A and B are shown apart, each in its own frame.
Chain A
Amino acid sequence: RKEVEQDPGPFNVPEGATVAFNCTYSNSASQSFFWYRQDCRKEPKLLMSVYSSGNEDGRFTAQLNRASQYISLLIRDSKLSDSATYLCVVLIDSNYQLIWGAGTKLIIKP
């Protein structure tokens, strides 16, 4: 089983729609969770952290479900510029390493 698993997509979504995708992790000792964004042929950049209580940043909402070991990302009122690959990342506190998912590709269509 992969340590961090994501649906690779692509998710093809019309502009203005709401889209959500999940990520599951296998290490129950994982403490910290993040979403990174990687545009085509660009480097990954931190999008947002994921807190136990859930958190929102503009059109983006991240949720954590520790019992089921998954995190989610919701994008409302999607824009063309949201087209990218979204990488789920888990920080293993015991060795301070980031464990990366392979990413979910999102394509927003006009």
Chain B
Amino acid sequence: ETGVTQTPRHLVMGMTNKKSLKCEQHLGHNAMYWYKQSAKKPLELMFVYSLEERVENNSVPSRFSPECPNSSHLFLHLHTLQPEDSALYLCASSQATGAYEQYFGPGTRLTVT
């Protein structure tokens, strides 16, 4: 059971497709995050939002475009991805940026063909 939901859970897309990942948190948190998790590698922080304002963008390629319309929703728009972008994409939220306890969604398993 989680207060953070993500859709879709699995996604297969071609390199020319455009798709979006959705995240919703029901915890009343003010900070939301996108992470990329590849096999046997540490979680990579991609984007951080605080009260709908982007506060961190860790040198992520422009083919990943985040959107945070309100403090409960976070999107990751994908276009012209590469096969090496195949990974588990995790959304998380926390009370505020800097709070160490982050609550994660179940993730979207993305495969780029």
A positions within 8 Å CB-CB of B: 2, 4, 8, 32, 34, 42-46, 49, 87, 89, 91, 93, 95-103
- For the A-B complex, the count of residue pairs with Cβ-Cβ distances under 8 Å equals 43
For B30, list chain A residues within 8 Å (CB): none
CB distance from A26 to the nearest CB of B (A): 13
For A89, list chain B residues within 8 Å (CB): 100
**Docked complex Cα distance between A33 and B42 (Å):** 15
B56, A97: Cβ atoms closer than 8 Å: yes
B positions within 8 Å CB-CB of A: 2, 40-43, 45, 48, 56, 90, 97-98, 100-102, 104-107
10 examples of A-B residue contacts, CB within 8 angstroms: A34-B100, A43-B105, A43-B106, A44-B90, A96-B98, A98-B100, A100-B43, A101-B42, A102-B41, A103-B42
**Docked complex Cα distance between A2 and B98 (Å):** 21
Known: A4-B42, A97-B56. A91 touches B100 (CB 8 A): yes
**Docked complex Cα distance between A19 and B89 (Å):** 30
CB distance from B61 to the nearest CB of A (A): 19
CB distance from B9 to the nearest CB of A (A): 10
CB distance from B110 to the nearest CB of A (A): 14
Selected from B42, B101, B104, B106, the residue in CB contact (under 8 A) with A102 is B42
